[in-house]
Amino acid sequence: MCAHEIAEFILKGFKKHYLLFQKITAQAPLAFAHKDWSKMHEISRLRISYYDDRVNETTQQLKDEYLTTQLDESLWLATKQHYQQFLLFHPQAELAETFYNSVFCRLSHRRYFNNNFIFVKATLADAPALPIEAEYRSYFPVIDGLKPTIRKIIEQFDFKASFNDLERDIRLLVKAFYKQAPDTHHSAWQMRFDILQTPFYRNKAAYIVGRVVSQSGVQPFIIAVLHHEDKGLYLDALLTKSSQMRVIFGFARAYFMVETHAPSALVRFLNQLMPNKTLAELYNAIGFHKQGKTEFYREFLTHLERSNDDFIIAPGTPGMVMMVFTQPSFGYVFKIIKDKFGESKPFGRDTVLKRYQLVKSHDRVGRMADTIEYSNVVFPLARFNATLLTQLKATIGSSMVIEGDLLIIKHLYIERRMTPLNLFLESANEEDARTAIIEYGQALKEMIAVNIFPGDMLLKNFGVSNHKRIIFYDYDEVQYLTDMNFRALPKPKTYDDYLTNEQSYSVAPQDVFPEQLCTFVMPNPCYKAIFTQVHPELLDVEFWQQAQKNVKNGLVSHIYPYPSSQRFIHSW
């Protein structure tokens, strides 16, 4: 095969991937219309593996056609040039670049992982950008009036299900707009609405995303659309605060399902609404997590060039499974599986890999941090002091290689850095500590509602986000809730057992005793008192058993990604 043919072949593989990805994404609106929540979850889960399936398929076909283990440098230099030309006016150019990188990296040694052979840098950064108008539609209240225009916006989405009382919901929506965004108090002829053309689907909700443009500036908003159990669709909430919008698009939630022809235009529109979000975060949020990896790595390389601080061990209690380091000026941690685990961890590396993948493909309900998984990550060796290098060699020696002035980690996970909850509580004031303990219990409830048992529930395994939300981030003991055996503590058999509190009873590997939660997790009596007052059901075995029954009976919980105070009050 010549360079031109190889370039065409890889682009053909990308086209197949994108069409299949959009095809399964397009099933979400119908699943939402039919309230088929298990189908929604299946679509979300399947999309996670679609990319790797197509990359592996394209790579294998290339190997079959191009039977040599020796990489022809001149051929691949020319292949990249041809491929780059194909992308000049491609609507998914940035995704196609990443697909090319993935195929090439599966065929070649890491010494070729540079900008000569792959797209380390975005080659189309200076090319004409796709107009964001390709992804949104504008509406002008001056023509039909405010409420008729809002009705037109909602009806154009064609949710294939009837609203219970759309006129009522529109009145609630307008009232909420006036209350939340006083700068939008303009007459109908003094504004326009820019609305993304397709809804964002996730779990049991659809979201309309747009902005109001007026003489006062731009006001972003999100409208949540839900199903009543038996009375049709309704508008549930309006969100106009940037902080709330960022939480909805946050790193601890499942990816949205949204159809798009021009992802870069969609991401730029979202970035205008949420300027604090990075490109990596936004690509992740709309389901293009491989593109998110590419953008994140570019952001990391840029940060390395602009910073000079060394890597350090991440603050917090050292784990028995993961070695974790960070860079103080960079808001992420790097997690590597240790060569040997602590004695209390009766499992191996393969189990850890599977559990991190479980979380990746599951509904994270805003309580479990997303992870970015990389292989053969190159770090500048000079940024690691002798002490840290010694610790790395002692704990993850089999996962690292030093080549000249480079440190190469064979496999790692990257997560958003948060303050470990146990450290947060050490310096928190009384009000913040109470809020954190309440949030911790709420996080447990929301995880078990979607069939996740965190396993190790110690406070050190939970972090405090910038929005003061409690997020779980240590997944080596994660299991499905339905796989656990929740038991009540046996009663003392003898008077001596009662006096010594050392009664003996058999415990199987999956056994859990909820009554012991505070004993092991919250030795601090003040925190224990708060927890037992606000979340007493978490200490009751029947609560956990009922949660298991709910999951087994197909009851799909909806965890609202916004405060209850934002919800409209409906009279059914």
* Residue 314 marked in a binding site: yes
Strand-strand pairing, 406-416 and 330-337: antiparallel
Strand-strand pairing, 232-239 and 217-228: antiparallel
Q: Could you tell me the residue ranges of all domains in the chain?
A: 3-112, 132-289, 298-417, 420-552
Predicted confidence (pLDDT) per residue in 347-358, tens digit: 999 999 999 999
**CATH code for the domain defined by 420-552:** 1.10.510
The yes-or-no answer to whether 298-417 and 420-552 have a common fold is no
Residue spans of alpha helices (H) in 450-524 = 495-500, 517-521
Place of tokens 């043919």: 5
Contact 460, 424 (CB under 8 A): no
Dist CA 397 CA 39 (whole Å) = 43
Contact 441, 388 (CB under 8 A): no
3-state SS, one letter per residue, for 365-423: CCCECCCEEEEEEEEEHHHCCHHHHHHHHHHHHHHEEEECCEEEEEEEEEEECCEEHHH
* Residue 257 marked in a binding site: no
Backbone angles phi, psi at 476, to 5 degrees: -70, -15
Give, for 220, the enclosing helix (H) or strand (E).
strand 217-228
pLDDT per position in the chain (572 positions), as tens?
Answer: 899 999 999 999 999 999 999 999 999 999 999 999 999 999 999 999 899 999 999 999 998 887 566 788 999 999 999 999 999 999 999 999 999 999 999 999 888 899 999 999 887 766 777 888 889 999 999 999 999 999 999 999 999 999 999 999 999 999 999 888 776 667 878 889 999 999 999 999 999 999 999 988 899 999 999 999 889 999 999 999 988 999 999 999 999 999 999 999 999 999 999 999 999 999 999 999 999 999 999 999 999 999 999 999 999 999 999 999 999 999 999 999 999 998 889 999 999 999 999 999 999 999 999 999 999 999 999 999 999 999 999 999 999 999 999 999 999 999 999 999 999 999 999 999 999 999 999 999 999 999 999 999 999 999 999 989 999 999 999 999 999 999 999 876 665 555 555 555 678 889 999 999 998 898 899 999 999 999 999 999 999 999 999 999 999 889 999 999 999 988 77
Residue 60's CB is within 10 A of a number of other CB atoms, namely 11
Extract the tokens encoding 24. 């399964």
* Residue 315 marked in a binding site: yes
Fold annotation for 298-417: Phosphorylase Kinase; domain 1 (3.30.200)
| CA-based radius of gyration for the chain | 26
Backbone angles phi, psi at 567, to 5 degrees: -75, 145
* Residue 316 marked in a binding site: yes
Record the pTM: 0.93
Dist CA 376 CA 221 (whole Å) = 40
Write out the catalytic residue numbers. Answer: 370
Dist CA 293 CA 363 (whole Å) = 20
Backbone angles phi, psi at 364, to 5 degrees: -90, 0
